[in-house]
Chain A
């Protein structure tokens, strides 16, 4: 499927306009290994704005390179990781964060896993608790059931879709 393939193309499509710049060029790196490690950590959580769900750490796009340099500049100024991220968000918006922060507009997103787990457990426990002690009477066969249904509802149309 071409669409699926698009995923893989995304980064490379951008290489079109950017030329084959590699993600995290060795020349970009900071001298201080601790600062560099922090830069990589921050980069992994920042979205390459023109890519499909790729972090700037992975992307070949020139914009991603600019952002990587920006992150490193800020780190060199002695800012903390949070300050750097805030700085980038202030400039590019929440869109740049691959892991959205908990805000009013993302509360449903973050509640979803909890709601789904609880809802699922409730549903499953209903399935399991539904007491079905083997009834002595033989249950109706589906045919009989359908017939009964149609008699009961005395539908105007002729005997269901059977």
Chain B
């Protein structure tokens, strides 16, 4: 009964989303405010319906109702409760339902927080959101119904893939989807602006918090996924340039560009057309990612979700929204020329460079991801484009980007002075060179040394910007403190964002520069060296988990004479579905992780793989700092407080504008 109610709510949601699209569109055409306002009524209703539908599916999973196909195929009565719940989105149908749930959540948020938006803009935004909802809800009902029943219900379910039985499943997909789907807001705002023909700095200010919210969730969602891969795959890799990963990286790259170009638009009323185009493209990349993942076009090992009907359906959705958005842009954007000129040495130009490099990297990722598929479709030739390709292209595009960041921070709007900026940055340059030199002295390779230099450069430059704006050293300390205390939160947000980037870059370079690997055949009692650590193989034993049997090995970790603790690694044998997984034993030390994996036994000796992964936590720590930075920015009064009036003059930071 509850399942049918969920099903029914989903079908109702289709009609409500059609109303959310249709009514305000007609209202906008006929200038009928009542019709426009219907979007405000539809948005929360749509959210309530989809949330109800989603809860019904959760209920079916928690209650292990195996008469529901989706539950039968993906759940098992012996599964721990957390995986019964997170298993709801650990499958195609449920994850699409989560997708539209988050979409409708954003719609409801516009209704809730959008009181400061003019009615026509708000209803146009909600109408586009309604259109997106309608297509995806229709997709779910038509091709991926999670509420379908089985006529002869089986007694037991097939269980969830053991690799998905991990706490990360509870948070990774919701975070990532919030990011993906959140960019629909930027898209809807862009389309609404084109339809209404009104695009100004106020628009940029309205769209920025939504973009920022999507971006921080995407950032941390990608990071959680990478961390998950790190501890799951059994050797400590954290990024594979896999098409599915690339699918999430592309909207992140253009989304990052969008955040920066929207600043130019907000403050300088420039780069309008470009910002609108980026908003459209960023969501198109989110849709493309959904297509790549959900259509089965990547097939090979991906045995899930390779139903061609679904693929074609999503392809139609992706092309419609992308082509529609870009087409509308081409038609209406001619009116959007920037109104302010700027010199080639200026903060605007540095942000243009930022956008150039980010979109070029995104373009390379796009070509590298789609090329093998396109080539195979056109000529039948099968090639692979893997990590070595991306490492030798995208990584080199990022180097000048990192070099440019601190300069951008120190250049004035409109017309800056590069020499002056360089002089002010000399402190950061010294720190960067020392860091890079130290890295190379300790055996880092050239590329890694360069990356560490640039990471330290961005880190020091970002911190120094705040200090310099607060007149550190050039004014009494009390004055500096006072100035820092009165800075906008947006300033700290940006600084934290750049610090996070730097930390991630240093982490990536450090992890590959000083990675230690030991492959050994060990008997109980044997000891191996691993960098500064010693690992002693203590014992092996069997134990039972909630729905698996585990064969575990314990290792004592020591550094010289100092006992650090025990690392446990195991192999888990699941019954439903029958599958063996490896659980790496990881001990996080201040400078890196000790990572141990138990292998096969042969005559009382075990194959052991042990790694020391230095700096690896920095990779995700940096993402977390970026997340916090975005959060701090979102709390900035200027974004939070309703600003119904046009931003005639964007307020400058309270700190002195860089002198020229």
Contacts and interface: CB of A to CB of B under 8 A. Distances in A.
Interface string A109-146: 10011001100110110011011111000010011011
Contact of B356 (A24, A44, A124, A146): A124
Contact of B163 (A8, A45, A99, A161): A8
A25 B600 contact: yes
Nearest to A36: B519
A100 B383 CA distance: 7
A85 interface: no
B619 to A, nearest CB: 16
B98 to A, nearest CB: 8
Nearest to A109: B371
Contacts of B379: 105
B91 A143 contact: no
B393 A8 contact: no
A52 B387 CA distance: 11
Contacts, number: 255
Contact of A95 (B382, B580, B600): B382
Contact of B91 (A2, A15, A60, A130): A2
Contacts of A4: 172-173, 176, 225, 244-245, 247-248, 293
A27 B95 contact: no
A22 B521 CA distance: 13
Contact of B580 (A20, A94, A112, A133): A20
- Which of A109, A132, A139 has the most chain B CB within a 10 Å cutoff? A109
A113 B225 CA distance: 27
Interface size class of A (residues with CB under 8 A): 35 or more
B197 to A, nearest CB: 4
A34 interface: no
Nearest to B385: A100
Nearest to B577: A16
A21 B367 contact: no
A112 B392 CA distance: 13
B153 interface: no
Interface in B1-33: 28-29
Given A5-B228, A22-B234, A24-B519, A10 B384 contact: no
B623 interface: no
Contact of A127 (B197, B271, B385): B271
A69 interface: no
A134 B385 contact: no
A60 B90 CA distance: 23
A127 B261 CA distance: 13
Given A20-B582, A109-B368, A142-B199, A26 B392 contact: no
Contact of B335 (A55, A116, A128, A149): A149
A142 B607 contact: no
A43 interface: no
B166 to A, nearest CB: 9
Nearest to B174: A1
Q: Which label, helix, strand, loop or mixed, suits the secondary structure of the A interface?
A: helix
Contacts of B342: 128
Interface string A4-17: 11111111111110
B388 A6 contact: no
A5 B163 CA distance: 9
Interface stretch (B108-116, B296-304, B484-492, B625-633): B296-304
Given A22-B597, A25-B600, A132-B340, A47 B229 contact: no
Contact of A25 (B195, B364, B388, B607): B607
B252 interface: no
A53 B364 contact: no
Interface string B592-617: 00000101101000011100000000
A12 B581 contact: yes
A88 to B, nearest CB: 13
A94 B379 CA distance: 14
Contacts of B29: 161
Nearest to A148: B335
A68 to B, nearest CB: 12
Nearest to B196: A162
Contacts of A11: 233-234
Interface stretch (B235-243, B475-483, B552-560): B235-243
Contacts of A20: 571, 580, 582, 599-600
The 3 tightest CB contacts between A and B, nearest first, are A3-B293, A98-B386, A99-B388
22 contacts: A1-B173, A4-B248, A5-B169, A7-B242, A8-B225, A13-B163, A19-B580, A26-B519, A26-B607, A51-B301, A53-B241, A53-B242, A58-B233, A98-B384, A99-B388, A100-B389, A116-B367, A130-B337, A130-B338, A132-B339, A133-B341, A162-B28
Given A12-B233, A13-B163, 11 more contacts: A5-B164, A5-B225, A8-B233, A26-B608, A47-B384, A55-B387, A112-B364, A120-B360, A120-B363, A128-B349, A130-B338
